Structure 1
């Protein structure tokens, strides 16, 4: 793919794990996802969300063997994931896991391997910073309204 400035070409690293490789490996490891993945064929984020629901069901029923298998699989994937696969893990897997509502959520969160713990911490920091920026923006808008009202 040619770069927008026409000064080079973007070449994907063939050693990176792309979405097709991810799907193939996921289905080999978790064949029970075959039907849901087929429904969302070619839609990586929807397939990753299906994987997240699968992991969440394991959390909710305290099936630690399945959950640890999901975590280990994704930790291994992250070692060589292409950027779109890594993004899907963050956005469509980790963001969808509910550690708070489940009776077994604290244990499930504790079992996250280091790579997924780091990714979750980065996500939480991102959302915290986004929230702070929104509050600051709202405060600035309120001050501007008050200033305009004083000038009238």
Structure 2
């Protein structure tokens, strides 16, 4: 992977509690523990050991992250602040707190990193973005 764009936001996701009991054994398949912390910009969140966050909670977190990236205020969807929201995993076991922080970098779309010809300002053609020579094949 060659990350070429420096994202506008970075995210921290911390395990802040459980809905059932005081441990995750026999409840959480990912083994989340209070205090576990994950970070990311655009990719999936990982912890200091390189382990990824639960894929089920990522389904929820992605839309919350997109709300932040598009200029939204998380208080409008029940957040604790403009850049903070608590989320319960779909299994109803673990409570996560997502916190966003602006990095000072330009917004991907407003910064015009991708022009109409499918070229990026930084790295050349992007496969599948209007570039006829990309060679990408999609199943029919």
Given the two structures, how large is their TM-score scaled by the length of structure 2?
0.26
Larger radius of gyration: 1
Given the two structures, how large is their TM-score scaled by the length of structure 1?
0.25
Larger relative strand fraction: 2
The higher-RCO structure (CA 8 Å, 6+ apart) is: 2
